[in-house]
Structures are given as structure tokens and as C-alpha cells.
Amino acid sequence: MGIILEISDDEMIVTLRKTLFSSWGDIDIYEFLNIVESELRKNGIIVGIDKSALISVYTQNKKEAVIARGIPYKSGRDGYLEFIIKIDKPRILYTETFSEEDIFDMASIPFARKGDVIGKLHKPIKGENGISVRGRIINAPPVRDVEVKILSDSIVFKEDEDKIVAIADIRPVVHKKDETDKFVYLFYSIPVFFYKGSIPKNSRLVTFEGDVIINGNVEKGNQIIASGNVQILGSVYESVVEGGQNIIISGGIVDSQLHAGFLPGNIFDKIELHAVNLIVEKLSAIFLHIRELPTVMNNSRHLSEKIKLIETLKEELKTSSTEISMIRSSNVLQNLLEDLKSLVKTLNNILDYDIIGLIKHLNSLKEIYEKILFISRILTEEHENKGHILAKWVHDSKIYAMKDVIITSEAGCYNTKISTNGSVSINGKVRMSTIEFKKNIFIKEAGSLGVGSRVLLKGSKNSIVKILYGYEGVELYFDKIGYKLRNGEKIKLYLDDSVKIL
């Protein structure tokens, strides 16, 4: 009887093929089954044999058929964290193409009220192993676990419910870290103060160490000072608003004064942030050298050099740690800075050990490193993202911003002074205003015919000026080099290498 058994490379499928000119006519079905089953045993095939398929081969005189299948593995599912509330970092990005809804949505402060569930942890589900036709175990792919680490007194992880819950009004700050066998989510928080409705005329001073969200207008005669972001879900009238981070106003600004990003002590300055980043860098280098120690154990000179490098890094770490321990108290990130000082104190204690003691405390060092790295990322992001102002329109006001100023509506900017170290983007009309900027400016329409035509734009030598429609009376300067617009002029200007306006 001419048959061939073909076994797939993964040993999951066995196919019986009938050779050319062979026939089952000279044997009965029982003898046929005995012959095939004997061949299967000789080839070690013991799992998933389909007797009905064997019978159909004989009775229907098939040329080929799958007669055995292994049991495939079932994939599991990685653990993951399901966020119940928005946790995207607030961003105000310079743009010349406007989708007002998207801009405000991106800039909006994510928050959790006291008792809100921030996220729900879903633990991994392991897969089920398979078995090949030869009885070999086919391992299901491994799944990755999920872990939560919380560096905030305002957030708790309820293990019995697998929920991350806010126990105060906060802005959650989350970082995800991918490790080989798990995902790690690190949580911190910024305090948030909520004001229900509009702030009435001449109310008391509002000051807060964190973010402020006002669910209405700020009426005449008020002052708001926040070390973090300020978001006003209305307009501002004849008031002063100061934000250490960004200011987001869903309506307009009338006869008011705004300052964004200039509050002293709201977060680290660059020198202190540099000290934190140096700790991360030096710890990474120490880990690398310790990992390489086994490769130089048989070479006394190389071993001595490696140990000297580690000792030098330890001393440099102590210097950076001293800088951190002397940091002034900060406002919006005060708790985070206190956590950092505590970590640095523990780090200094470990650094007092010799190389053997250092190796013994390697796991503690790695845990400190992970937390300081997380803190470094928060500080860097908060520092880089501060100083923007976003509003729909501004009239009769003074605006001071460390970074970009964005005005989104046709009502634009009237009788206002804007001064920024960043860029300005106004998707509307600019009349009777002075705008000072260090980077670029975009204006939809600058000046007007007759009354209200005066507009003064002061940029730097590196600025780019783009105006879609301009009028006489609009003057712009690249440092001291000036240009006057003509009626109906559309321009994009900058200085070339020879300091000529192009």
C-alpha cells in the first residue's frame, strides 16, 4: 500500500498522501487503519489523530488528507492600565493652521477630583500551552505584568479593587516604563484648586500652590496667582492673572494684565535641574562599570582602573547630591522636591560604602535611580512646558509670556501690548497694538484703513514674520532693521546672512 506521511515543520499537522498508482482495493478498511496507525506510531505521532479523516481517505479514495493536528497554544494577554480620566499632559503648541477646538482640548488641564478613579489595573492573563502531534509542549508566548508605583500622598492604589484613586483634587502626572517582563506606571500629582462659577467683582486674592481651574469668568478687580497652570473657562475682565506655568482662557481678555512663566520658585531652575540629571547620568555609569567588573577580574591593572572610575563617580555623585540637598523649597512641586531630597540622603548613605558594599546594595541603588529618573522627567517637562498663553481674543491689555502667545479668534488683538520670549500666533485682526517677540509671528490681518491702523511689531534678527493681509501703518523691526507694510500686502519676511530683509 503506497502512502506517505508528511509532518509540518512545527509538528502541528500530519498529512497523508497517496502515492501514484496505489490503491486500497486489495485490503479492507480495518487492515488499512492498522497500517496507517502503525506508521503514525513509528513516526512518534500520538496526539490529535483524526480517525474519521482516516476512514474518509479509505472510503472516498482521497489522494491526500490531514489526519492529525496538534493542539495549538492559546495566547494570553499582557497586563495593562485602563485610564478612566484624561491624563494627557497639557500642551500649548505654536501653530499657523487653526483648529480652535483641538488647540483648547490639547491645552486643557487634566484633573481628578477627590474620590475619582484615575485608572483600573488589569492583571495579565496567562496563555495556555499547546502540544505538537509528537507530544512536545508548545509554550504559549509569555505575557507581561503591569505594576504601579506611586510617589504622591494624594493618590492611592486600592489593591483589593485594582484601582488608582485620587484622595484630593489633583492633576495626575504619569510615566510609563517598558521593561522586559512588565509595564511600570509611575504616578505623581500636582494639586488643583477648583473655583465653581465666576469670580465676582473685587473678590479676595486667589493664590494657590498648584494649578487653578475657574469654571466661569474672572470679573473686574481680581487677582489670581498660581504657581502652576491657570485655566479660566470664561473671560477675564480688568484683573491680573499670574501663572507659573501656562494660562489658558476659553474666552477673551479685557483690560487685564497676564504673566505666564515668570513666578520665582515655581519649579527648578536650570542649574538645579542639571544637578538632578547629573545624578541620573553618574548612577547609570556606575551600573555599567559594576556590570563590567567580572570581565576584568583576572587583570589586576584593569580591575584597579575600573574601581578608581567607580570611586570617582561616587565623589561626583556626592557633589550633585549636596546641591540637591540645598535646594530652596518650591511651590507647585514642593512634595516632589522633598521626596527627591529624601532619596538623595539615602543615596549618600549608600555611597559611603566601599565597592563591595556598593555591590551588596545594588538593588537599592537601582530603585533610587528609577525614582530619581522619574522625578527628573517630571521636572524637565514642567520646566520646558511653562510660559504659554492661550486665549480667543485680547483687548486693551498687557500680556507677558516666557514662551508662545496664541490668539485663536477673528476678534484678535486690539489696543494691547504683548511681550514674549517665544512666538506669537494671531488668527484674527491686530489693531492699535505693540507686539514684542523673540522668535516668530503669524498674523491673519494686521492694521486697517484709517483709524486703528497703527501696529508695531518688534522681533529679533532670527525672527520670521508672516502676515496674510496687511495695511499701511504696520511697522515691523528685526532688531533695528525696519520694514513698513503697504495696503493689501501679504508678506513672509526674515533676515538673510547679509542682514537684508527677504
Domain containing residue 17: 3-69
Report the distance separating Cα 427 and Cα 430, nearest Å.
9
Per the domain annotation, does 24 fall within a domain?
yes
Nearest to 446 by CA among 436, 437, 434: 434
Q: Is residue 23 part of a domain?
A: yes
Of 337, 356, 384, at which residue does a domain stop? 384
Q: pLDDT exceeding 70 applies to what percent of the chain?
A: 92
Whether the per-residue pLDDT at 335 is higher than 90: the answer is no
In the structure grid, which three cell numbers stand for residue 89, read together? 499632559
Least confident of 4-18, 163-177, 343-357, 373-387: 373-387
> Is residue 351's pLDDT more than 60?
yes
For 359, list phi and psi in degrees, rounded to 5: -65, -40
Q: Tell me which of 228 and 267 has the higher pLDDT.
A: 228
Mean of pLDDT over the chain: 88
The whole-number pLDDT of residue 400 equals: 96
Indicate if 47 and 84 belong to the same structural domain: no
Query: Dihedral angle at the C-alpha atoms of 199, 204, 208, 214, nearest 10 degrees?
Result: 0
Per the CB < 8 A criterion, the answer to whether 218 and 201 are in contact is: no
Decide which of 21, 49, 69 is a domain's last residue: 69
Which among 450, 433, 443, 448 is positioned nearest to 410, based on CA atoms? 443
Task: Write the burial class of residue 53 (CB in 10 Å: 0-12 exposed, 13-18 middle, 19+ buried).
Answer: middle
| Residue in 107, 113, 116, 112 with CA at minimum distance from that of residue 89 | 107
One-character DSSP codes across 293-353: GGGGTT-HHHHHHHHHHHHHHHHHHHHHHHHHHTPPP-STTHHHHHHHHHHHHHHHHHHTS
Can you give the pLDDT at residue 159? Answer: 92
Q: Residue 369: its pLDDT value, please? A: 87
Q: How far is 319 from 275, CA to CA, in rounded Å?
A: 9
Q: What does the alpha-carbon distance between residue 260 and residue 237 come to, in Å, rounded to a whole number? A: 17
Give the three cell numbers for residue 410: 477673528
Instruction: Report the pLDDT averaged over residues 392-406.
Output: 96
Between 67 and 322, name the one with better pLDDT.
Answer: 67
Residue 41, exposed/middle/buried by CB under 10 A (0-12, 13-18, 19+)? exposed
The DSSP output letter for 11 is S
Mark whether 38 and 100 lie in a shared domain: no
Residue 95, domain member (yes or no)? yes
446: domain CATH number is 2.160.20
* 25 part of a folded domain: yes
Here the cell at position 468 is: 496674510
Give the integer Cα–Cα distance in Å for 308 and 195: 58
Q: Is the pLDDT of residue 452 over 70?
A: no
pLDDT at site 2: 74
Task: Decide: helix, strand or coil at residue 32.
Answer: helix
- Does 197 reside within a domain? no
Half-sphere exposure of 448 (CA within 13 A, CB side): 13
> Average pLDDT for residues 167-194, to the nearest whole number?
92
Average pLDDT for 281-300: 88
Cell for 462? 532670527
Specify the pLDDT at position 267. Answer: 44
Residue 60 lies in a domain: yes
Question: What is the rounded average pLDDT of the residues 317-323?
Answer: 82
pLDDT of residue 327: 66
Model confidence, pTM = 0.80
Range of weakest confidence among 82-91, 252-261, 398-407: 82-91
Query: CB within 8 A of 210, min separation 6: which ones?
Result: 171, 190, 191, 192, 193, 226, 227, 228, 331, 332
Asked if residue 154 and residue 108 are part of one domain, the reply reads yes
Pairing of strands 145-150, 455-459: unpaired
Total domains in the fold of the chain? 4
Same domain, 90 and 187: yes
Residues 32, 125 within the same domain: no
Are 115 and 164 found together in one domain? yes
> What's the CATH number where 341 sits?
1.20.120
Cell numbers placing 491: 508678506
Residues 107 and 42 in one domain: no
What is the mean pLDDT of the segment spanning 469-481? 88
Q: Strand 223-226 and strand 240-243: pairing?
A: parallel
What's residue 268's pLDDT?
47
- Looking at 24, 41, 69, which one is the last position of a domain? 69
Residue 21 has pLDDT above 70, yes or no: no
Least confident of 85-99, 231-245, 432-446: 85-99
5 vs 330, more confident = 5
Lowest mean pLDDT among 77-86, 197-206, 480-489: 480-489
CA distance 5 to 240: 86
Looking at the domain assignment, is residue 328 inside a domain?
yes
Contact 215, 192 (CB under 8 A): no
- For residues 477-495, give the mean pLDDT: 83
CA distance 502 to 490: 13
Residue 352 lies in a domain: yes
- The model's pLDDT over 73-130, given as tens digits with 9 standing for 90+, comes to 999 999 999 999 988 888 888 887 767 888 898 889 999 999 999 999 999 999 999 9
Q: In what order do the strands lie in the sheet with 3-7?
A: 3-7, 13-18, 64-69
Residues 418 and 442 in one domain: yes
Residue 377's identity, in one-letter code, is: R
